[in-house]
Structure 1
Amino acid sequence: MFIRIGFEITIECARPTPLLLALLPHPSYGGRAIGSDQVRTDPAVPQEEYLDEFANRRVRMVAQPGRMTLWSDCIVENDGQPDPFDWNARQHPIAELPPDTLRYLTPSRYCNSDELVEQAWALFGATPEGWARVQAICNWVHNQLTFGYQYGRSTKTASDALRERTGVCRDFAQLAVTLCRAMNIPARYASGYLGDVGVPDSGPGDFCAWFEAYLENRWFTFDARYNTPRIGRVLVVRGRDAADGAMMTSFGNYDLKVFRVWTDEVVGTTTDAERLALLEELPDAPALTLAPT
């Protein structure tokens, strides 16, 4: 299957403002891209793409005083399969874990697992190790937190979300990550595009956060907010928590004027040429008259 992904972000700065962006599909995403997945700007400014320590594709640029629009629009191929699961996936003893998973066992900026060890073991200590334990954590977080955009804030930790019983998708993911780590299960934060493929009328496409847990010699995707396998995820970033996967990090103030995201299944096309023709203008964007170059 094919999915059209993109965003339009307009900011206004009073002075030159350096930006670090995490808005490009992750190198590990398996589907090919049709058209350009690069970040484009109006007005044009110099930019540099690099890989960070989690292999996330980052872009560095300096926004100049005034308004600037950042955008991207492309079509990516997707296998069309729901998130894989394995009810028999086992939990590894810490001594057997690969070295590169160990950093996902310890506390991080927003996932303060050291503060929740006692509570995690009280809640989940009697659950079977492995997949069943991670799923029990997902079930609990899904049922305990109330979702709402008004509940999000950039400084909110897993402990805050637990105490307030509210959050956005990143809070669901970070609380589940924190509880997994407290139970000695490597877990990492992830985010990217997620539309309504397979679940029509579930809301507009958006950037969404989920998490990955290491079981049975591989990383599995879990989603505490939706708590069901989904189709059409397009991974953008991974990290210890949202601090490693912020979409936009600014070194200075800016006013956000426009923020739109789309992630829609492409149907009715049979060739790449037909799919490229869809990218001649951005979808439903009366405020933006740019066309891809």
Structure 2
Amino acid sequence: MLIRLGYEIAIDCPQPMPVISLLDVHKDRQHDIKRQTKVLTSPFTACDVYEDSFGNSCRRYMAPQGGFQILYDALVEDSGEAEPCNPLAGETPVEALPPETIVFLLGSRYCETDHLSDLAWRLFGHVPPGWARVQAICDYVNNRLSFGYGYARATRTAAQAHEERVGVCRDFAHLAITLCRCMNIPARYVNGYLGDIGVPPDPAPMDFNAWFEAFLDGRWYTFDARHNVPRIGRVVVARGRDATDVPLLHSFGPHKLTTFKVWTYEQESYPVRPPARGIDRTLTTPLIG
């Protein structure tokens, strides 16, 4: 299966300022990219590319005063299968966890384990450890929170989402991650592309999505407390402790978001005509270069 994906993001800056983007397809999926444009900016702005401590690709720009636009379009090959389920996967005792997973047991900016630990053990202490426990957490979060784009708030933490009972995909992920960590299950935040593939189309404008991964039986498994069903066509962009580690854009100064477009959908075949150079600036039909 081929997935067409990309974005157009533009900001307006009252003064020149550094901007870091975490928008590249994760290195785990780079080998699946069959065609892509370069990451284009308007006006052209040089960037430094580096890898952060979580293995995410970051681009650092010096955005000019005025409008600054970032564009990208790609064609990615995907298995067409939903992410795997393994109901027999068990938990790894903390003393046997790989050292690099320990950080995903700790509290973080949006995941306050100290506030929710007692609740987690009351709710899930009796659930068989492993896959069943993580799934029970997803079921609880899915039932507890009501989803709505109007509920978005950048400062909402997991504990606040639990009390307010509303949120967007990042809030579902933060609450599920926190409850997993409280139960000594390493869990990490993931953002990326998730199109309406194999499900009824969502009439809302496309956006990047957030979900999480839990460490069971020696590997990371994908879970999604918002949709709470296995999905087809996820493409990871970045992973971290929570949304603090993986902002789409991190600006070091004031700015106004003026354009935000994301696309991800199944494409049945490669374009018949020779690929155009660059991207159609209207971005109504992104072109592979």
Q: 1:170, 1:29 → 2: CA distance?
A: 22
Distance 1:70 1:230, change over 3 A: same
1:213 is aligned to 214
Partner-residue secondary structure (3-state), 1:116? helix
Identity of aligned residues (%): 48
- In the alignment, the residues of structure 1 paired with residue 189 and residue 151 of structure 2 have an alpha-carbon distance, to the nearest angstrom, of 19
Residue 261 of structure 1 is matched in structure 2 by 262
Contact 2:206 2:261 survives alignment (8 Å): no
Q: Residue 23 of structure 1 contacts residue 39 of structure 1 at CA under 8 Å; is this kept in 2? A: no
Query: Is 2:121 the counterpart of 1:121?
Result: yes
Q: Which residue of 2 aligns with 1:224?
A: 225
Q: Residues 278 and 228 of structure 1: is their aligned pair in 2 closer, same or farther, counting only changes over 3 Å?
A: farther
Moved more, 231-240 or 36-45: 36-45
Q: Which residue number corresponds to residue 150 of structure 1? A: 150
Q: Give the structure 2 partner of residue 92 of structure 1.
A: 92
The alignment's TM-score, normalised by the length of structure 2, stands at: 0.94
Say if 1:106 and 1:181, in contact at 8 Å, map to a contact too.
yes
- Name the SS for the 2:239 alignment partner: strand
Could you tell me whether the CA contact under 8 Å between 1:25 and 1:37 is conserved in 2?
no
Displacement, 1:115?
1.3
Contact 1:195/1:232, CA 8 A, preserved across alignment:
yes
* Among candidates 261, 275, 278, match of residue 277 of structure 1: 275
Give the Å deviation of 1:135.
0.1
- 1:35: Cα distance to partner? 2.8
In 2: Cα distance, 1:27 partner to 1:139 partner: 31
Query: Offset of 1:33 from its aligned partner?
Result: 1.3
Aligned to 2:252: 251
Residue identity matched to 1:90: G
Q: In structure 2, what is the equivalent of residue 34 of structure 1?
A: 34
* Divergent runs of 4+, >4 A: 278-284, 290-293
CA contact (8 A) 2:37 2:288 kept: no
SS at match of 1:277: coil
Distance 1:276 1:168, change over 3 A: farther
Q: 1:218 to 1:279 in 2, by over 3 A?
A: farther
Q: Distance in 1 between matches of 2:183 and 2:226?
A: 20
Deviations 1:188-217 (A, max 9, x none): 000100001111313454210000000011
2:185 is aligned to 185
**Superposition deviation, residue 264 in structure 1:** 1.0
Contiguous gaps of at least 5 residues in structure 2: none
1:38 deviates by 3.9
Query: Residues 61 and 131 (structure 1 numbering): CA distance in 2 closer, same or farther, change over 3 Å?
Result: same
CA RMSD of aligned residues (A): 2.0
1:50/1:196 CA distance change after superposition, 3 Å: same
Q: Could you tell me how far 1:282 is from its partner in structure 2? A: 4.7
TM-score, with structure 1 as normaliser: 0.93
**What SS is found at the alignment partner of 2:208?**
strand
Deviation track 1:53-87 (CA, whole Å, cap 9, x = no partner) reads: 00001000011011121110111111111011100
Deviation of residue 283 (structure 1)?
9.7
State how many pairs are aligned. Answer: 288
Q: Which residue of 2 aligns with 1:76?
A: 76
Deviations 1:126-166 (A, max 9, x none): 11100000000000000110111121122111011111111
CA contact (8 A) 1:193 1:236 kept: yes
Distance change in 2, residues 1:14/1:114 (3 Å): same
